Amino acid sequence: MDDQILLTKIIKHNDKEAFEELYNLYGDYALRVATAVTGDSSKASDAVQETFIRIYFNIKNFKLDKPFKPWLYKILINECNRILRKGGKITYISDYIENNVELSEEDKHNFEEYEDLYVAIKNLDSINKTPIVLKYLGGFKEKEISQILNININTLKSRLLKGRQKLKKVLEKNDERRNTNERR
């Protein structure tokens, strides 16, 4: 069922089954994005839970003529940032996989292949990390990201460029280290 039909059912009829279907449609992906942004599976889980609670209580404010996904991710990113401001322990993607075996088995994405990338993304400043995550993991267009983050499109482009440059440097250093170790 498409977003508009689900949202109409939720808004006009307070359909709890439609809300559950909406959660099932976006929950796992929101968790991946939140994990990439926060670097911590428990914080990510809290952010997703809070996001859907906020959506549930504020769904009447959603305009059906607008796309749902950017609205969802704007709330999600705000929740991630709120939780990060509280501080706390950081969990690596590898720890996330090891501690959540059933999730990694069901997940169609193979985190192990991209662990260096996820660690590099996790270590970016949030000013660069959030746009990178939204563009490359969330699949948003730059215009949508600028609206989600409430920043100028040129500022966004600059942050994406700097984020990619930082990622490239880190990944090149990792490759050099790996190649040096292989030669030994």
- Domains parsed from the chain with CATH numbers: 3-183 (1.10.1740.10)
Tokens of 48: 């997703």
Residue 153's pLDDT is what? 94
How open is the CA angle 124-74-115, to the nearest 5 degrees? 35
Max intra-chain CA distance, the chain = 67
DSSP string, 124-141: S-HHHHHHHIIIIIS---
Closest to 173 measured CA to CA, from 134, 128, 116, 130: 116
Residue 107's pLDDT is what? 44
Is the Cβ–Cβ distance between 15 and 9 less than 8 Å? yes
Local mean pLDDT, 10-residue blocks, the chain (184 residues): 86 91 93 89 92 92 89 92 71 44 44 69 88 87 91 94 92 81 72
The Cα 15–Cα 23 span in angstroms is 13
Residue 139's pLDDT is what? 84
Residue 1's pLDDT is what? 65
Tokens of 52: 């859907």
